[in-house]
């Protein structure tokens, strides 16, 4: 398939990306969020979008609209980024887009400013091809709170459902394999983050008292050990009761997924895995899990200090699948800890939870996104029923009522949320081409049935 030359639009997109990366819009620290929102608004207005700004709990929410045609596409992105810490581990300045060996480095280059800019560049290209007109309606919802759990988004979507009405939703991320195969996701797992806290005394004690005083870290270790079996299966009674059975289309898609996680293991030098690899894709797409994110308490400095800690804390996250409800999971966790004799361990919910979501893989919008990806990238796409990650996808399905598909420009070595976050220049270029081609296919009514 022959594609138009989009070189000028790609180069302009890279300049836009450099400008956005230079704004350290770190939502966890409240840094430069209005500045980033204004920069994005300026970019959108230059392409004819009407942009309305709404206040969020942490950062402004932008709702933009442009174009006219038989199909309405809602695009979701975010302009906030993770903290750059530890800054000393970056090879180049985190807020300066730097090209090196075919990769573009910078905080937000992948998540999510690169995604946003590549889509806008593709939209510009389509307008140029169509005589300056945008031949479909594009609505664009862009927030600045995604990296802190999108605390304002669900209520915003519920309150603006009529304005957000669309025929399909293009999600904020996606990836490309090292071989150039586009990876699409039709869903996300839900998430609930909690702390388990335990206190046994008003202050730390000499460790000799460990003969007569219980230790909060022992109690927390025992409590955490009771949550999961050696194969990763969550052992909380009732935890799996609400899990929605996978559809035949989901199972067929998983059976067609390549590999058994070799790229992940090789990129991160993984030394221990759960399972033998044969269920790798089933676990990522369909299996709910509990993770220990951090274990804290007592003396953590150099050398020894013979102390019995007064208190300790464990951070956990649960990744959920349809139709598990975050609130119900916390209730089941509480009941399980009480039944195990850990009624003194406090549960504290952290940040905003997210419900799981999964689109129908047989929907024409999903099929069109897959076919366009095949045409643009020249490789068979990899379609996952769900990502192993989480995000605020459920409110879109619940209130907008449209299928959601994720495809973007990330890569397995992109180090998202870590030092040296990056995208491949090749993937950015193809991301611009994909955006132009997808918008054209939707505008022309050539959706795959």
Residue 141 has pLDDT above 50, yes or no: yes
Residue 203 has pLDDT above 80, yes or no: yes
Q: What is the mean pLDDT of residues 419-440?
A: 98
Residue 352 has pLDDT above 90, yes or no: no
The answer to whether the beta carbons of residues 314 and 296 sit under 8 Å apart is yes
Q: How far apart are CA 51 and CA 160, in angstroms?
A: 14
Q: What is the mean pLDDT of residues 268-273?
A: 91
> What is the structure's pLDDT at 268?
83
Q: Compute CA 296 distance to the chain's CA centroid, rounded to the nearest angstrom.
A: 26
Q: Which pLDDT band holds residue 449 (cuts at 50, 70, 90)?
A: very low
Q: What is the mean pLDDT of residues 306-334?
A: 97
Q: What share of the chain is helix, strand, coil (3-state, %, to 5)?
A: 35, 25, 40
Q: How far apart are CA 138 and CA 75, in angstroms?
A: 7
- DSSP structure class, residue 240: T
Q: How far apart are CA 158 and CA 163, in angstroms?
A: 10
> What is the structure's pLDDT at 447?
57
Q: What tokens does 344 get?
A: 């003194």
Residue 215 has pLDDT above 60, yes or no: yes
Nearest to 443 by CA among 82, 16, 133, 20: 133
Report pLDDT digits (tens) over 16-55: 999 999 999 999 999 999 999 999 999 999 999 999 999 9
Torsional class of 180: left (φ above 0), alpha (ψ -120 to 50), beta (otherwise): left
Number of CB atoms found within 10 A of residue 328's CB: 16
Q: Compute CA 313 distance to the chain's CA centroid, rounded to the nearest angstrom.
A: 26
Q: What is the mean pLDDT of residues 169-186?
A: 95
Q: What is the mean pLDDT of residues 153-160?
A: 96
The answer to whether the beta carbons of residues 131 and 364 sit under 8 Å apart is no
Report pLDDT digits (tens) over 217-237: 999 999 999 999 999 999 999
Q: How far apart are CA 179 and CA 379, in angstroms?
A: 9
Q: On the CB side of 419, how many CA atoms lie within 13 Å of its CA?
A: 9
Q: What is the mean pLDDT of residues 403-431?
A: 96
> What is the structure's pLDDT at 448?
53
Question: In angstroms, what is the C-alpha Rg of the chain?
Answer: 23
Q: What tokens does 112 get?
A: 């999510």
Q: Which residue has the higher pLDDT, 112 or 264?
A: 112
Q: How far apart are CA 384 and CA 386, in angstroms?
A: 5
SS3 track for 280-302: HHHHHHHCCEEEEEEEEECCCCC
pLDDT averaged over every residue in the chain = 95
CA 22-24-26 angle, 5° bins = 155
Q: What is the mean pLDDT of residues 306-317?
A: 97
Q: What tokens does 273 get?
A: 């895995």
Treating both helix axes as pointing N-terminal to C-terminal, what angle do 7-21 and 113-129 enclose, rounded to 10 degrees? 150
- Kindly report which listed range (195-199, 299-303, 431-435) carries the lowest average pLDDT score: 299-303
Q: What is the mean pLDDT of residues 207-216?
A: 96
> What is the structure's pLDDT at 446?
67
Q: What is the mean pLDDT of residues 416-438?
A: 97
Question: Helix, strand or coil for residue 424?
Answer: strand
> What is the structure's pLDDT at 153?
95
Report pLDDT digits (tens) over 367-387: 999 999 999 999 999 999 999
Q: Which pLDDT band holds residue 1 (cuts at 50, 70, 90)?
A: low
Q: What is the mean pLDDT of residues 316-325?
A: 96
């Amino acid at each position: 398939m022959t594609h138009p030359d989009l070189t000028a639009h790609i180069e302009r997109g890279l300049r836009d990306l450099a400008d956005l990366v230079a704004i350290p819009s770190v939502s966890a620290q409240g840094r430069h969020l209005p500045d980033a929102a204004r920069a994005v608004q300026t970019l959108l207005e230059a392409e004819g979008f009407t942009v309305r700004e709404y206040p969020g709990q942490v950062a402004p929410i932008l709702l933009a609209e442009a174009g006219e045609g038989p199909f309405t596409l809602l695009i979701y992105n975010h302009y906030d980024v993770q903290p750059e810490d530890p800054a000393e581990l970056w090879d180049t300045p985190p807020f300066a887009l730097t090209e090196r060996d075919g990769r573009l480095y910078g905080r937000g280059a992948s998540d999510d400013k690169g995604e946003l800019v590549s889509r806008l560049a593709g939209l510009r290209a389509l307008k140029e091809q169509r005589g300056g007109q945008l031949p479909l309606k594009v609505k664009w919802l862009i927030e600045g709170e995604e990296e802190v759990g999108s605390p304002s988004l669900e209520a915003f979507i519920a309150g603006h459902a009529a304005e957000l009405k669309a025929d399909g939703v293009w999600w904020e991320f996606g990836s490309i394999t090292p071989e150039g195969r586009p990876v699409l996701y039709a869903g996300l797992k839900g998430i609930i983050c909690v702390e388990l806290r335990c206190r046994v005394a008003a202050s730390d004690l000499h460790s000799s008292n460990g003969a007569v005083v219980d230790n909060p870290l022992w109690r927390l270790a025992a409590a955490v050990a009771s949550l999961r079996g050696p194969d990763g299966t969550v052992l909380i009674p009732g935890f799996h009761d609400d899990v929605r059975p996978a559809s035949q289309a989901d199972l067929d898609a998983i059976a067609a997924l390549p590999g058994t996680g070799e790229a992940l293991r090789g990129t991160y030098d993984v030394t221990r895995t759960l399972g033998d690899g044969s269920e790798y894709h089933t676990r990522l797409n369909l299996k709910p899990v509990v993770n220990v994110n951090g274990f804290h308490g007592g003396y953590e400095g150099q050398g020894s200090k013979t102390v019995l800690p007064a208190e300790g804390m464990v951070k956990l996250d649960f990744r959920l699948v349809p139709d598990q409800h975050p609130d119900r999971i916390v209730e089941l966790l509480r009941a399980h800890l009480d039944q195990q004799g850990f009624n003194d361990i406090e549960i504290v919910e952290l940040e905003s939870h997210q419900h799981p979501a999964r689109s129908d893989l047989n929907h024409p919008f999903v099929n069109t996104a897959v076919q366009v990806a095949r045409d643009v990238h020249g490789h068979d796409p990899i379609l996952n029923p769900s990502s192993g990650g989480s995000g605020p996808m459920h409110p879109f399905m619940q209130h907008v009522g449209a299928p959601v598909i994720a495809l973007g420009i990330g890569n397995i070595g992109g180090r998202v949320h870590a030092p040296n976050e990056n995208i491949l220049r090749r993937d950015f270029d193809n991301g611009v081409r994909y955006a132009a081609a997808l918008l054209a296919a939707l505008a022309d009514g050539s959706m795959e049935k």
